Amino acid sequence: MTGDTDKQGAGKQGADKDNADMDGARNASLGWTSYLAICALGLTIGLTSIGPSASEGLGTLNRMAFWAAHVVPALILLAVTQMALGQIKRLSTLPGLLQVILSATVAAILFSPLALGIDGLLAGAAALDDDGDTLLARLVSELGHFFVPLVLIWTLINAPSLLQLERGGLRSRTEDAPPPEAAPPDKLVAFWARLPGRLGRDLVALSAELHYVRVYTTKGDTLILFPFGRAVDLLQDQNGMQIHRSHWVALDQIDEVVSRDGRVTCQMIGGPALPVSRSYRAALKAARRGAV
């Protein structure tokens, strides 16, 4: 090997060239963090404009601050709750829509004390109407006000990804299963079951998108609802490694490792260019040397 920028076999590059355009388009798509940020902005502006009774009596700027203080932590809590519940093996096998609704339900219950506190700090006179009630009664009342809208909004936010999961599942059920010789080890059955059969079993990379995982193979990519950490653990015996808190790569699918302006990037064969964290760079270099 002549360095981190050495190419893998030219024949393999040619075989995978047809997938480059599709993967390039995927790289240009919106990541989940950016998507949630846009959703938070849209919800804040929308609620400020509509002006529900909870913010009655507040000026425009104060009303925007009031709703931003609700929307931002609520979305963060929803995402964290869904990721946490996804780590529970039994729950991670549930259908995607059910996981989303369950996560929204748990997050709503956890958010109600925070929402009540925000109301007390920022709201107008409307927030004082129930001051004579017990704390438990006020919490129940607060939860009742936003539970249904929160579950509905979280489901709509996840709808594009859920539709991708459903399309992938339909294709997987209507396509031939991988040949017996390609059958995965038992511990990977739960992981492979999430992938459409058309994508095969030759992994290129995994990328975490909050509570979803983007799985790249030599035949394309798809989005699955699966904990990234669990996927990495299951793939420990595979010829690959984690290179970033959000990325895992197959070592034999690395086209080149590029270092530029202090940043290191893993360019996959016919696939995405993924960042390499400082803490993983030495291990990646050693792993590539060992592979050669």
Contact (CB, 8 A) for 223 and 161? yes
Structure tokens at 224: 């699955």
Contact (CB, 8 A) for 270 and 263? no
* Cβ within 8 Å of residue 223, ≥6 positions away: 161, 164, 165, 168, 209, 212, 213, 214, 215
End-to-end C-alpha distance for the chain, whole angstroms: 7
Residue 190 carries which side chain, given as an amino acid letter?
A
Q: Work out the pLDDT band at 87, boundaries 50, 70, 90.
A: confident
Q: pTM for this one?
A: 0.69
pLDDT digits (tens, 9 = 90+) for 166-214: 565 544 444 444 444 454 555 788 888 888 888 898 999 999 988 889 9
Average pLDDT of the chain to the nearest whole number: 80
Structure tokens at 38: 């846009």
Asked if the model's pLDDT at residue 126 lies above 90, the reply is no
Token pair 């129940």: residue = 140
